[in-house]
Chain A
Amino acid sequence: MTDLVQKEHLNFYQDKQGHKGIWAWLLSTDHKRIGLMYLYSIMIFFLVAVTLGFLMRLELIKPGKQFMEPETYNKLFTLHGVIMIFLFIIPGIPAIFGNFVLPLVLGAKDVAFPRLNLFSYYLYVLGALFALSTLVIGDGAADTGWTFYAPYSVKTGTNVSLSVLAAFILGFSSILTGLNFLTTIHRMRAPGMTWFKMPLFAWSTYATAWIQVLATPIIGITLLMIIAERFFGIGLFDPALGGDPVLYQHLFWIYSHPAVYIMILPGMGIISEIIPVFSRRRIYGYNAIAYSSLAIAFIGYFVWGHHMFTSGMSGPARIVFSLLTFLVAIPSAIKVFNWIATMYKGAIDLQPPMLFAMGFIFLFTIGGLTGLVLGALATDIHLHDTYFVVAHFHFVMFGGTGFAFIAALHYWFPKIYGKMYNIRRATTAFWIMITGFMLLYFPMFIAGFRGMPRRYYNLLPRFQIENFISTVGSWILITGLLLMIINLFIGARKGKKADKNPWKGLTLEWQTDSPPSLENFDEIPTVKEAPYNYKS
């Protein structure tokens, strides 16, 4: 009897389900443990890729060769891109917070297929090991850029096959995660939680999961074709042999552009959770935000062509793709307006999650608007493959999704660990980071606008000022990042005990203990009200 009572009050760290030591993690099918395993793995890869970015920036501090060979630089930006895209930003929010938080916000005990979930994690690890092993095996890391454009990717002597295989496995992992979440959201919502009483994070995870499931297979098959090409040399994408390299680009972007929305949608979901909580106001335009997630997912399928404006596409095709690209900006803008409208006249509380969320809005808006500059045909001809693009995608991916990710870390941290980090240090880290961020990436817009091409290890003297500022910015940004990580690390180990609901959130995850018990809720909650019902 006492045994039973005790078990009730174990949190999920203490409840080892009969496993010993490390096995309690490695064999666990608990969505919270799997989420944390993702968190730790992904953070490690992220730091590796940040180091690579740091080294590249160092090389570009002034004109001339500093300390790396051109080939080395090519390998670095490829690996940096591959890790950041396939190991950090695509799996990041869904795999970590989707796993940890999604069942909690839905009021469920776990995801629909817990064992499949663990399997996806191991696929992720396997893919990651493949990607990193290219560094040490054979002829070294791929030097094609993360896009593996054919025919170069078929001809280069570097380890493309292994990198491509890694991306394939990671894609498979991503599909299974998406499948799991779709089913979870359809089948496991708490009683009373109708679709339109579902928190917006769940909505955005839902839209994301559809993209994961429907777009990823295309890249899977494309990557398999690249591997087959490398072994048999048929010339599928080689014009000399009757193949069509632009077809490869089409296939690649049929996946990879929707994948951009895999990256950003979950981030938007997080922002939609945080803004109402720290403004103490009901979210403005709940339905508009929910529907715009679906709209982004849907339109996102039809814009891939804008990556090929300069690679030979018919005029009408280019115009259609350009138009569609503009259309996709509408639902994104709807969200931004809704967030701002929510904050208007709210009682804004500038806690770290809110700061990062506002950082997101600021940086993402810059990234999004410059995206329109690239989406317009005439300007893109000039800006294609310049540093303008590099700045644009760092603003949306790092300033957007990356900041949303960090906001989520700070927001759900007390739920995950049951402890609180140092608020002042987190705030300082934010200001250092955003300063470093602007210094690092904003000059790239200018350099790109003035014609500096991307993917070169060297620069012309006339771009010297921009690049110097940018490199210094990278130091500041990385300092901020490290401060933030150290702060969270200390918080997780020695932080003050946190309340069940420190931010006074109204969604279900805040009703259970911190950290939650193995089954999340003592009793599955029943939902009566719409989320975010702040009386104001």
Chain B
Amino acid sequence: MTLHRDDEASKMGMWIFLFTELLLFGGLFLVYSIYRYKNPQAFAHAGEELNVLIGTINTVVLITSSLTVALSITAIQKNKPKLAIGLIWLTIVFALVFMVNKYFEWGAKIEHGLFPGQEHYNTIEPGEKLFFFLYYFMTGLHGLHVLVGSVLLLFVITRIRQGRVTYDNFVFHENGGLYWHLVDLIWIFLFPLFYLIK
């Protein structure tokens, strides 16, 4: 079979896929808003447990990583594969920083006994339980996306090395970047919902 190449099609496929990802989180945002509406005080109270500083750092880290990924695409378009690879590595390092922060954040919550099933958790109000459940579920699912995105970027690196992603054939790289921006975008909504709204 002759392999045909259609960059427009690949990009279109990616955009549609991103829509489905947005809707996936959309369901969760819906649940969040309904329960927030029903338990405003409990949500506000539980929200104070979260560490705004770590959240802010992570937001900055993710936004910066979006920048590096965008720069890497420009680099490949200008036929500078080495630079592009370097920038992608930088992006992945940011992703790791994000995940390590997340690890400490979750770790601290769990130490306080705030994970479903733990003792302290069992004593808090139902509304707060819902808050924490949604917190773990949504940031957990988002974290999973960070990991998937990083793996995707590793593939981009391999393909650049193999010469399959080049200055005149970089749609795979672009799609990887698009996915990464999505991960970023979702976080930008998660951050205020959990950390900032009082």
- In this assembly, does B6 line the interface, its C-beta being within 8 Å of a C-beta of chain A? yes
B19 touching A214, Cβ below 8 Å: yes
Residues of chain A in range 198-213 having any CB-CB distance to chain B below 8 Å: 213
Q: Which residue of A lies closest to B22 (CB)?
A: A217
A234 touching B129, Cβ below 8 Å: yes
Residues of chain A in range 300-356 having any CB-CB distance to chain B below 8 Å: none
Q: Closest Cβ of chain A: how far from B10's Cβ, in Å?
A: 8
A519 touching B24, Cβ below 8 Å: no
A218 touching B133, Cβ below 8 Å: no
| Given the contacts A213-B20, A214-B23, A179 and B13 also touching, CB distance less than 8 Å | yes
Q: Closest Cβ of chain A: how far from B23's Cβ, in Å?
A: 4
| Segment from B26-34, B49-57, B149-157, B163-171 that makes contact with A | B26-34
Main secondary structure of the interface of B (DSSP, over half): helix
A531–B39 CA distance with the chains assembled, in angstroms: 57
- Of A29, A116, A175, A519, chain B has the most CB atoms within 10 Å of the CB of A175
A251 touching B130, Cβ below 8 Å: no
One of B13, B27, B39 near A218 (C-beta < 8 A): B27
Instruction: State how many residues of chain A have any CB contact under 8 Å with chain B.
Output: 42
A26–B3 CA distance with the chains assembled, in angstroms: 19
Instruction: State how many residues of chain B have any CB contact under 8 Å with chain A.
Output: 35
A-B CB pair tally, cutoff 8 Å:
100
One of B24, B117, B141 near A232 (C-beta < 8 A): B117
Residues of chain A in range 80-129 having any CB-CB distance to chain B below 8 Å: 109-110, 112-114, 116
B27 touching A221, Cβ below 8 Å: yes
Q: Which residue of B lies closest to A237 (CB)?
A: B31
| Given the contacts A109-B4, A113-B13, A242 and B126 also touching, CB distance less than 8 Å | yes
B24 touching A234, Cβ below 8 Å: no
Contacting residues, chain A, for B125 (C-beta < 8 A): 242
- In this assembly, does A17 line the interface, its C-beta being within 8 Å of a C-beta of chain B? yes
- In this assembly, does B105 line the interface, its C-beta being within 8 Å of a C-beta of chain A? no
B27 touching A232, Cβ below 8 Å: no
- In this assembly, does B104 line the interface, its C-beta being within 8 Å of a C-beta of chain A? no
19 contacts between A and B (CB under 8 A): A29-B1, A109-B2, A109-B4, A112-B6, A182-B12, A182-B16, A183-B13, A188-B9, A214-B19, A217-B26, A218-B26, A232-B116, A232-B133, A233-B117, A234-B116, A235-B126, A247-B31, A254-B27, A519-B1
B contacts, CB < 8 Å to A: 1-2, 4, 6, 8-9, 12-13, 16-17, 19-21, 23-28, 30-31, 34-35, 38-39, 116-117, 125-127, 129-130, 133, 137, 141
A contacts, CB < 8 Å to B: 17, 29-30, 109-110, 112-114, 116, 175, 179-180, 182-183, 186-188, 213-214, 216-218, 220-222, 224-225, 228, 232-236, 241-244, 247, 251, 254, 518-519
